[in-house]
């Protein structure tokens, strides 16, 4: 039985977990679970990323965060996908990974007709959804008359990670989370190897039925105390360091892209995201392929003169995860459980996913062995599948201009699980049978956008001759273009929406 839960560590992972469990386990009710969180003022928020995936909308709504407050208090902007530049050839190429699923009128499989050449050489992301054009035009995914978290197009957010943690803390406390400010100095284990109690210099002994480790890379409980092994994946994903800068806009009314810009660099890639008051720009790179000094030079060249008076913040990480994230009475969530790399903004996605699973299988009664086993199976598979998804961005490159890109395309850097996927997709496109939503963050649509954005070729073979609805498909592709025209006329500029929401919130249509 686990009714008393203590979360160690705040930040985004800690407060997403606390807020979600508080709502789902009725922490504000006398009969609900007791959710406590202890965080230290001495330990800053790492804030490895300022981006999210669309699942965050449902999570924040369940926690009780008002979307207008998110925009106002966290400098949040809307994210409709990622623009990848220079990843395929390094010669001016680009593709967009939108969050909106491909158009499918009446169940017609447009991807097969695209592969068969129904629209010539136009890119898949361009012809299958209106979102690519909406993003390219600098438009928002919704109107200010749409309710919070509702929109005609799928989206996530960019935000200030420190400010988001503060907002989540406020909402979490209102939902019944007991907040303690203090530093855990020691972890005491019982005879069975589980955590008996924690020692805080401010609060003395702290006891709970279930402890959640949100202490980041420090992994104070799951790693240092319980010694759960960490599986590095750096033999496949090479980046292990990042430099980041916060860059002011040249003017207050500068346009804000509603997507992350990911630009391939000699030994990694740069991110460029727009918040309301600044840009967050960083370089993720491999120390096996470049030096810190050269990485900083690359980052400064990308930013330009605006970087002259700025000092980069350095983040070191080991890409990987713990296959066993629930040990005895300790559950790891967030960076203590694992971190792949910032590409595709999976960090917060893993934290919210872990909170969702934990709430669903929470051990109100009986032993924790069964729930722990199920949790470990789900989360370890999720990490493994994301490793393959991220690696696919790299290994399909045609670039051979630097050792980093040549090494990423080397067969011995690609895990067999990804090789198997790519082999089957040489003869059919990714479909629903290739994903399991219990273990996958990304759907078949996400795999398709990246796979074909990177120039992968699927041979339809005899299936091409069996495609009998070419005219219907062409009508459907034309309808996507027509809908894009409508969206272009109706949707506001991204910054205009942000300004309106900050002033008035979301106003229901009359």
DSSP assignment letter at 2: -
Residue 71, phi then psi, degrees to nearest 5: -65, -45
How far is it, in rounded angstroms, from Cα 86 to Cα 15? 36
Active-site residue, from 3, 58, 61, 79: 79
> Among 461, 450, 473, which residue's Cα sits nearest to residue 111?
473
How far is it, in rounded angstroms, from Cα 165 to Cα 169? 6
Query: Please, which residues bridge with residue 179 across strands?
Result: 37
Edge to edge, the sheet with strand 178-181 lists 178-181, 34-39, 4-8, 210-213, 330-332, 326-327
Q: Is 457 left (phi over 0), alpha (psi -120 to 50) or beta?
A: beta
How far is it, in rounded angstroms, from Cα 379 to Cα 396? 26
Residue 327, phi then psi, degrees to nearest 5: -120, 125
188 catalytic, yes or no?
no
242 close to 282: Cβ distance less than 8 angstroms = yes
How far is it, in rounded angstroms, from Cα 219 to Cα 13? 13
Residues annotated as part of the active site: 79
């Amino acid at each position: 039985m686990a009714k008393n839960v203590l979360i160690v560590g705040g930040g985004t992972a800690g407060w997403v977990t606390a807020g979600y469990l508080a709502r789902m386990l009725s922490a504000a009710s006398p009969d609900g679970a007791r959710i406590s969180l202890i965080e230290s003022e001495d330990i800053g928020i790492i804030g490895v990323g300022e981006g999210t995936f669309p699942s965050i909308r449902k999570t924040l709504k369940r926690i009780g965060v008002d979307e207008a407050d998110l925009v106002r208090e966290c400098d949040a902007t809307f994210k409709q996908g990622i623009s990848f530049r220079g990843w395929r050839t390094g010669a001016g190429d680009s593709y967009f990974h939108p969050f909106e699923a491909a158009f499918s009128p009446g169940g017609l499989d447009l991807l097969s007709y695209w592969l068969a050449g129904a629209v010539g050489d136009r890119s898949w992301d361009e012809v299958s959804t209106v979102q690519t054009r909406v993003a390219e035009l600098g438009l928002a995914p919704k109107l200010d008359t749409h309710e919070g978290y509702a929109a005609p197009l799928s989206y996530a957010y960019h935000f200030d990670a420190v400010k988001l943690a503060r907002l989540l803390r406020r909402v979490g406390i209102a939902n019944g989370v007991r907040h303690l400010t203090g530093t855990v100095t020691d972890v005491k284990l019982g005879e069975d190897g589980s955590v008996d109690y924690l020692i805080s210099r401010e609060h003395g002994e702290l006891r709970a039925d279930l402890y959640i480790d949100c202490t980041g890379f420090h992994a104070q409980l799951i790693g240092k105390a319980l010694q759960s092994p960490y599986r590095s994946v750096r033999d496949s994903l090479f980046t292990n360091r990042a430099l980041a800068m916060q860059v002011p806009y040249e003017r207050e009314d500068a346009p804000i892209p509603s997507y992350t810009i990911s630009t391939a660099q000699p030994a990694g890639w740069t991110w460029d995201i727009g918040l309301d008051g600044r840009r967050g720009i960083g370089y993720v790179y491999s120390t096996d392929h470049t030096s810190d000094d050269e990485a900083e030079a690359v980052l400064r060249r990308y930013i330009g003169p605006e970087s002259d008076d700025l000092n980069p913040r350095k983040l070191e990480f080991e890409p990987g995860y713990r296959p066993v994230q629930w040990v005895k009475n300790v559950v790891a969530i967030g960076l203590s459980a694992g971190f792949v790399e910032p590409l595709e903004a999976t960090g917060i996605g893993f934290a919210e996913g872990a909170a969702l699973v934990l709430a669903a299988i929470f051990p109100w009664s009986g032993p924790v062995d069964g729930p722990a086993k199920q949790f470990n199976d789900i989360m370890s598979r999720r990490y493994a599948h994301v490793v393959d998804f991220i690696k696919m961005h790299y290994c399909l490159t045609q670039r051979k201009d630097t050792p980093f890109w040549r090494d990423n395309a080397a067969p011995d850097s690609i895990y067999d699980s990804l090789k198997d996927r790519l082999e089957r997709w040489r003869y059919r496109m990714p479909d629903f049978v290739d994903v399991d939503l219990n273990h996958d963050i990304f759907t078949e649509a996400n795999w398709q956008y990246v796979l074909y954005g990177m120039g992968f070729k699927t041979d339809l073979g005899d299936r091409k001759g069996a495609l009998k609805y070419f005219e219907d498909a062409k009508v459907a592709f034309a309808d996507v273009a027509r809908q894009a025209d409508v969206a272009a006329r109706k949707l506001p500029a991204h910054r205009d929406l942000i300004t309106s929401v900050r002033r008035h919130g979301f106003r229901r249509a009359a």
